[in-house]
Structure 1
Amino acid sequence: MDLSELTSRLHAIRDANQWRRYHSPKNLVMAASVEMAELTEIFQWLTEDESRALPPEQLTHAGQEIADVMLYLLQLCAELGLDLETVVQAKLADNERRFLP
């Protein structure tokens, strides 16, 4: 996955629709939160086993919501001047240091 290409494509959509004024870090965080809530809704009231075996339609829907969250986070990183791959790699290395023997 080429994150810089994804960011460019997102910015093209944003710019073509004149949405830049709405894409403040605050608004992007709130939008990502809304998408995360939509993802949560898919799993609400399911048992553990049901949550691991979604029917195809729900699995597709979950994938769409995961993508929405990811795309908003990618846009947020761009607005904050953060490189998503760098911050994820740093956090993963920190978790490895803390939680692996």
Structure 2
Amino acid sequence: MAPVEELTQRLRTFADERNWGQFHTPKNLVMAAAGEMGELVAEFQWLTPEQSAAVMDDLKAGARVRAGLGDVVIYLTRLADVLGIDLVQAALDKLEDSARRYPVERSRGSAAKAPGYHPSAP
């Protein structure tokens, strides 16, 4: 079993054992993921770029960042499971789309948004 599939199954079992499926609506899971992402953002909020790159060198801050990432991944994995989305395939599809929108020859070294990009467009 692939690591993402194992995580998905373990999260499903964890939620089922506690009868938490009733609370794991897409809305609640998105809100929980956003809240956890906010906590992760707070860890980096006032750091310089150099400090942010070295955050894992600080044992306490590094532990909080690691736990925050774990929380975000858990909620996103659970959300994908509830919605019936293959999370890895969704990420691969998005990466392929980004490669089309940001070809190396036009995008290398630039943070400019792709012209004509509309996130809601198919």
* TM-score bin, normalised by smaller chain: over 0.9
RMSD between aligned alpha carbons? 1.1
The equivalent of 1:91 in structure 2 is 94
Quote how far apart the aligned CAs of 1:61 are. Answer: 1.2
The equivalent of 1:64 in structure 2 is 67
Gaps of 5+ in 1: none
CA distance in 1, matches of 2:64, 2:95: 27
Larger radius of gyration: 2
The equivalent of 1:48 in structure 2 is 49
The equivalent of 1:33 in structure 2 is 34
Moved more, 23-32 or 10-19: 10-19
Quote how far apart the aligned CAs of 1:60 are. Answer: 1.9
Give the AA of the match of 1:35. E
Give the AA of the match of 1:23. H
Moved more, 44-53 or 20-29: 44-53
Structure with the bigger RCO (C-alpha within 8 Å, sep 6+) is 1
Quote how far apart the aligned CAs of 1:56 are. Answer: 2.3
Query: When the two structures are superposed, what TM-score results if normalisation uses the length of structure 1?
Result: 0.94
Gaps of 5+ in 2: 106-122
CA distance in 1, matches of 2:86, 2:75: 14
State, as a whole percentage, how many aligned pairs show the same letter: 41
Flag as ranges the 4+ runs of structure 1 deviating above 6 A: none
